[in-house]
Each structure stands twice: as C-alpha cells, then as structure tokens.
Chain A
Amino acid sequence: MSGARASASEIDAHAAAWIQRRDISDWGEQEQVAFDAWLTESLAHRAAYLRLEAVWQRTERLAALHALTEREGVAPARGGLFRFLTRLTAGFAIVAALSISAYTLLQQPHAKTYQTTVGGHETLTFQDGSQIELNTDTVVRAAMDAKERTVWLDKGEAYFQIVHDSVHPLVVFAAGHRVTDIGTKFVIRRDSDNVEVTLIEGRAKFDTPRDAASKDTMLKPGDVLSATANSVSLKRASVRVLADQLGWQRGILVFHHTTLGDAAAEFNRYNDRKLVVADSVSARLTVVGTFRTNDLEGFVDVSQAVFGLHVAKRGNETVISR
C-alpha cells in the first residue's frame, strides 16, 4: 500500500456506490464476493467504506423528520412521538435503556429514578426534547409529563438542557433548594447538603422553598451559586472556567493550578480506586493539565515524574507522598 493510489474522491465514489447498490438493488452472493474483494484490496478502500457507511447510518436519523410531519397532521399520536424519540436518539450509547424509559414516561406520570455508577455518564432525553446529562455516581428522579416537569437531584452532578415552556417550567430540587428554569442550560452538583448551580445559558431562578426568608436569586450565564443548608453565595466564572467545569461531558478533567489534594478528590469521584495524598505539603502542590476521568494511572505517573513523589498501592487505594 504505497505509491500511486486512486484519489480519495474516486475511492469515495466507489465505496458509496457499493453501499447504495447493497441498500437498494438486488444483492446476492456474487455481489457480496465482489464487494469483499474490493474491500480487501487496500486499506484506503476499507477506510472509505467505513467512513461512508457510518455517515449512511447516521442519515437514518432523518426519519425523525418524517415522524414530525406525521405528528402535525394527526392529534396526539403517541406512536409517532415515540418513534420520533427513539429514532432521534438511535445510535447513542444509552439508547436501549433510554427508549424504554422514555416510553415508560409516556405511560406513567410518576417520577422515575435514573442513576449512574462511579465513572458512569449518561444522557436522558425526554418527550419535550429536554435533556439531562448525568455525571459519575449520580441519582436523579424525574417526573416529566404534560402537567408537571420536576426533577430531584439526590446525589452527584447533572447538566440540564431544558426546552423552555413558560406554562410548565422545569423545576429541579436539590437538598431543599429549588432551581426553576427560564429557558436554560445549567449544571447542578450536589455533595450531600452542599449544592452548586452553574448557569451556562439563558436564565434560571434559585430559591429555598422550605426557608420562609429565602429570597429569589435570578441567575445569569456565568453565575455560580453555592448553597449549604444555611447559606447562599454567588460568584462569577469566566467562559474558560465554565468550559473546564464541563470537561466531564467529554470524559476529561481539566486542572489549572489545581492543588494535588483537590485533583485527587476530583479523580475519586470517577474511580473506584481512590487516590490518597498522604502529606499536606504534597497536597498543596499544584497541577496543570487535562486527563481522562478514568486515567488515574496516567495522573499518578505524571505526578510521580514531575514532583518526584512516592507512589504505593494499598488495597483499593493509591497513596502518594513525599
């Protein structure tokens, strides 16, 4: 595989022709044999085929447009809607579970529980198009139907991308605090009684209903609100900090002069193996870098190499020290 090769566009044209012939015309053993032969002829053929076949499969999702037009004609066609949802999400990792839960949501208006394991990551898509993306070790309950849109964040962190409906605003409860969406993307993180709300886009209202003296706080993009059982504080975050904070959506942790102690705590949210920084001097060292949430070893290797720290494995813990 070297030297003169057909141009990419020629090979693409061949690959696409095979895919289409297989899709719509008579396809027998003879065609299959010829196709296999073409495929094994060169890696360029293989690459072109894999690429175009992937795109062809992606276009299956266009069928959702059909379901949409169908839905407009007839009154509340549950079948169409359901098909719309499942097709829309087809191909995503969590689809199987999702379509079942979406279906159940249509059937029963009660709250359903969704949870991720340590290191897990899932996106829920609801009938109204709203999406909730769950980070590691997270539990939410959601009651989403025509009358009510309520979500409880029992534990962990979730990114809410809400399709706004002024008649039925989406409400999220976390540790007794309440966030009401006004056309929004936001993240809520909960560590027992501590709740942090980060507003990415749009507006949202924050309050604490059980506290009679609680005042509404209107949140703007970039606002980071921290609430404990009896205090509320607000600070602003830069676009960069916001993007870094959302690194988990891409499976990464971004550290900017983060102390080793804080970085370890972050890793520990995502991994069963826990990182322990044994002494306070090491814990105050700062790190800069981007790591996969599950790449504890890579992080430890770097710390070891850069700071010359000792690393010891004890049972389920990796201990680093001077």
Chain B
Amino acid sequence: MAEKFETHSGTAQPQGGSLSDVDAWFVRDVLPLEPSLMQFLRHNWRNTSDIADLRQEVYVRVLDAAQRQIPDSAVQFVFRTARNLLTDRMRREHVVPIEAAADMDALEIAVDEPSQDRVLMARDELRQLQTALDLLPPRCREAFVLRRVEGLTGRQIAARMGIGVATVSEHLANGLCILADALSIEALALRRKKN
C-alpha cells in the first residue's frame, strides 16, 4: 500500500497552518471517518463507556498535529493516531487484551473502507437522518422536527409546544448530541446492508 495518499478531491493540500484550513480539513476529511473510527475503537477497547472519550482524544490529537502540518492522508493519520492512543492506554492501565492485539492487525481493513462515507448518496443520507431522528425522546424529536422539517423559529416552536425558548434550545442541543452519535452507527448499518 502506498504510504503517501492524497485526498479524494485530488486537490493539493494546504501544507498545515491556519485555523480555518485546519477546521475545513477536519470537517471535510476527518469527520466522515467517524463511523469507521468508532467501530475500530469499539472493537479494540472493551470498556464501552470510554469510547466517546477516546474518540474525543483522537480528534484532539489529530487537530493538534494538523495545526503544525496537515497530514497527507487523513485516513491513515486518524487510524494511526487511534492505534497509538489505544496502545498508550493499554500500557498505562497495564491491560493486555489479547483480542485487542489481534484486532489491531485488522487495521488495514478499517482504513480501506471509510472513504465510502463520502460518496454517500443523497437519499441514503436522508434515510439515515430520518432513522436517527426517530431515536430522539418524543419532546426532543418534536422540537427538532418543528425546527428542521417545518422550519419554524425558536419562538414559534416555544409557542407551539407551550415551553420557553430556552427549553426549546435545550431540547435541540440534547437532540443534536444524540443525533451525532446515532448517525455514526447508522452509517455503518447502512454500509453493512449494502455489502
């Protein structure tokens, strides 16, 4: 496998640096890998309650490195970072999960797949969003539908639901967090179904 990858778009990469470049790169090249990253973490770390924190730590390390230089290949960089993080953690916590060590070798497979997320078709995207939306608690879902599907303003939603604008905002914020987590699982489920 070639060590030096270029991005899907084929455009030249900015060589590191400005905040907005890093942010744009992170959103475009790193975030779409999240379903695969989460799968990798879940496979290789037994304690599921740590997964969200591990994901966050991977993102922090990736952002930190990108501020110095934006990596050529986001895929390789993200998974290498994840692997290093898990190794550090295992060492620190003196755990030697045998299965985890074996699974690490499966990294190549995980690296190969995720770019598929990028060519996610529009209809799949809508279907995923809909499925994820159904996972929200009822009031939260109602607020979300009024905002995103009906396009009502915060005040209109507050009036419709008989609650304050601040509470609407809380429902939406809560819903957003749940959706973000659900979407990375949904994307995987969809991919599996297709394969």
Contact = CB atoms under 8 A, between A and B. Distances in A.
A123 B180 contact: no
Contacts of A30: none
Contacts of B6: 292, 294-295, 298
A50 B26 contact: yes
B2 A50 contact: no
B55 interface: yes
A231 to B, nearest CB: 33
Contact of B60 (A17, A43, A252, A290): A43
Contact of B165 (A25, A243, A295): A25
Contacts of A65: 126, 130, 149
Interface residues of B, number: 59
A124 B1 CA distance: 31
A92 B173 contact: no
A301 B115 contact: no
A13 B177 contact: yes
B13 to A, nearest CB: 12
Nearest to A251: B8
Given A7-B52, A7-B53, A59-B179, A298 B130 contact: no
Nearest to A40: B19
A32 B166 CA distance: 18
Taking each of A13, A25, A62, A297, which has the highest tally of chain B beta carbons within 10 Å of its own beta carbon? A62
A51 B151 contact: no
Contacts of B165: 24-25
A61 interface: yes
A12 to B, nearest CB: 5
B82 interface: no
Contact of A301 (B4, B63, B133): B4
Interface stretch (A125-133, A150-158, A275-283): A125-133
Contacts of A298: 2-6
Interface string A107-129: 00000000000010001010001
A12 B27 contact: no
A123 B34 CA distance: 23
Given A11-B56, A294-B6, A63 B1 contact: no
B179 A301 contact: no
B16 interface: no
A55 B6 CA distance: 25
B170 interface: yes
Contact of B129 (A21, A58, A89): A58
A86 B2 CA distance: 38
User: Which 7 residue pairs are nearest across A and B when measured between Cβ atoms?
Assistant: A24-B154, A298-B2, A47-B59, A16-B173, A8-B56, A8-B52, A251-B8
Given A12-B177, A25-B154, 12 more contacts: A7-B53, A13-B173, A13-B174, A24-B169, A46-B23, A52-B176, A62-B133, A62-B145, A92-B122, A250-B116, A292-B2, A295-B4
